Each structure stands twice: as structure tokens, then as C-alpha cells.
Structure 1
């Protein structure tokens, strides 16, 4: 039951360094990221997957010493594009046309309207919009992790500019937004056995 899986998950503080995600589990996470529901259907996010232990060790100081970055099986980095423009819109609608055989007379008004929306968006608003998409992907990945019995730890606590420099993400036109170490919890992680603290539904749900 999905609710039991969500009760099982927690922000893992200590990973078992001896356990690695099998490739099929990693593939599930890649597919889940790619299937995330995003605004306008545009996929202006990228996910960097790092398994190399040496590389991840170098990122620990840039993550305020949080060992999850290096001790997890893999580190997932959710990134946004530095530029979002007409080519992203065209790529999306070209794919729609190719896959669905939708005629141009139907697609073109939507294509033109979306280009206008994006081109008229101030750069700071565009950045904030893109960043929110990364959080949607994060939520989706965390839920899928729970269903697949994969432990994870969502992290905002790192220095994006330094991490981007270390990984040369600018060469890919990307900026990091969120980290998600994934793997399996250590048996002695004291946080694994703590009861989940949540408000009662009556305090968080409003039915009209």
C-alpha cells in the first residue's frame, strides 16, 4: 500500500556504504524522472547521476560536510537549463507532431503562444519557474524511491555555484538546484526507527 511505503520513507541520514543500487533500480529512477509531469510539457530539466566515489567525496565539502553525498549508492543532481527559449518549444512540439501525427494547423497556435509566454518572461521569473519544476521532479523521485524500497535524502544544503564549477555544469548549460543521494539505509541510522511526526489530517486538510 502506497501509504505504508510513504510512512516507511524518511530523510536518510546514514547510508550503508556497502550496498549499491542494482542497475534495474537505477533505471527505474531515470525513467521516473523522465516521466515527471512538468509545466507545458517542456522538459527543461536534466538529472546528473554520479556513482564515482572519488567524485562524490570531493562534493562533500561543498555540501556542508553531509556524508550522504558520498556514502549513498548514487548521487542524483537535479539541474535546470541556464537558457530556455524557442528551441525548447520547437523541440517539444516537433516531438508531439512526430509521435501523435498532430497537424500543424492545430499545433502552431499553441507553439506560437508558448514562445510568446516564455520570451516575455523576465529572467528572474523564468529562473524561479524552472526551479519549481525541479521540486516537482524531486517529489516524484522521492515517492518512486519509497515504492521501490530505495532510501533517499532530499538536500538543499549545498553551494550550487561551487558544485556547478566542480562538475563543469556550465559546459552543459546547466545549474544545479537540488541533490538527492539514493541507496540503502545503514542499520545503525538512529533516525530510521523514529516515529514519523505529522499533524493530524484535520489540521492539514480543508474540505469545502
Structure 2
């Protein structure tokens, strides 16, 4: 299948085959794709939790509007934002730039100082809002990668973030859960797999300015 066929193949899975598991190779592709996703300034304010533990996934179902995909999927991806995007976080990023690209400080300093000042002027909610937008970018990219690899998925906002945070001990790590996505393989009897996609006509969805 070409990429458009694969995007037509994908859908938000309602019922996973609980017996089928993703291979280490498939998981590694998702991990690498997560890490390669574009984020604002390259700061990567999103951390990915990959949960396979069956008991923990069952506990999380209760805080996911009882959606069984959370427990029955091979793995549960939890997208979290860093809540400590501060001067130290930014300096650490630029140290990584310096190490990887061997960029001298005199070139890095102006942009580094600008970001430290800019983020220092924002309150926590503003930084969180910015980071959440990056989480959506990451999830969108992984949806496409899943389709390309024929990994089934179900992007979800329907969960109680505070309960996830509590169960996963996220506040101690300066993290907050914002999105979840079960991944694995669709059940043979998921009737939604055969539903035709309902989308606008291209002429309605897209306007070209020439």
C-alpha cells in the first residue's frame, strides 16, 4: 500500500485483539519516530510513557471512561508534558546542541538567552499550553507512523489526567499526562474497521491560493 492507502486503512480502533503484541522492532520504530518528531524550538517538552503492564492498564481503564482499548491494546502510550521548561531545561538543550553539532557558544548564546528570557516571562499555564500543542504534534506524527507500519491505534483525550498522574506518580517527575494512545492490532470482530471514512470533499477542506 502507498501512504494514502495506509491512511485510509487506519481508523480509531474500538476493539483490540488482546492476544496480539507488538514486536520489539515495531516498538523501536515508534520510539525513534517519537524522538524524531518536530517540536517548537526543538525543545521536546513531551515525554512518552509506554505501558505494557496488564494490571496497571486495567487500573487505568477506570480513569479512561471505561474504554477497554486502554487495557486490551498491546501497549498504552501516554503523552506527558514537562512542567519544568525553565532556564536549566533550556541550557541543557543547548549543551546537547553544542555536543552534537559542535556549535560555538558565541553562536548559541543569543538564541539561548532569548529563550531563557522568553520562557522566564511566562506563567506555568502559558508554558503548559505551549507544551500541550507540541504533544498534539507528536501524537499526530505517531498516528501516521502507525498507519505506515500497519500498527493499529486509537488517539484519546477521554481520560482523567489527574488520576493518571496520581497512579503513574508523575508530579514527582515534573510531568503531566495530556493524551493517551493505545496501540496494537484490531480485533477481527471490530465492526468499525469496515466503516467508510467520512471526510469533507477536498474542494471544501482545502483552498489553494495561487
TM interval, short-chain normalised: over 0.9
Tell me, in whole angstroms, the C-alpha distance in 2 between the residues paired with 1:187 and 1:13: 11
1:105 positional shift: 0.8
The SS at the match of 1:156 is coil
Task: Say if 2:58 is the partner of 1:88.
Answer: no
Tell me, in whole angstroms, the C-alpha distance in 1 between the residues paired with 2:74 and 2:170: 21
| 8 Å Cα contact 1:16/1:184 also seen in 2 | yes
Q: 1:166 corresponds to which residue?
A: 167
- The correspondence of residues 36-185 of structure 1 with structure 2, limited to 5 A, is 36-185=37-186
Q: Deviation per CA, 1:31-60, whole angstroms, max 9, x where unpaired?
A: 111111000010121100100101100000
| 8 Å Cα contact 1:38/1:136 also seen in 2 | yes
Q: How many residues align?
A: 208
Tell me, in whole angstroms, the C-alpha distance in 1 between the residues paired with 2:39 and 2:94: 15
Tell me, in whole angstroms, the C-alpha distance in 2 between the residues paired with 1:93 and 1:168: 28
The SS at the match of 2:48 is strand
Tell me, in whole angstroms, the C-alpha distance in 2 between the residues paired with 1:203 and 1:33: 32
Q: 1:201 corresponds to which residue?
A: 202
Tell me, in whole angstroms, the C-alpha distance in 1 between the residues paired with 2:17 and 2:128: 36
Q: Deviation per CA, 1:103-122, whole angstroms, max 9, x where unpaired?
A: 11111011101111111112
The SS at the match of 1:79 is strand
RMSD (Å), alpha carbons: 0.7
5+ residue gaps, structure 1, are none
Q: 1:3 corresponds to which residue?
A: 4
| 8 Å Cα contact 1:44/1:88 also seen in 2 | no
Q: 1:15 corresponds to which residue?
A: 16
5+ residue gaps, structure 2, are none
Q: TM-score with structure 1 length normalisation?
A: 0.98
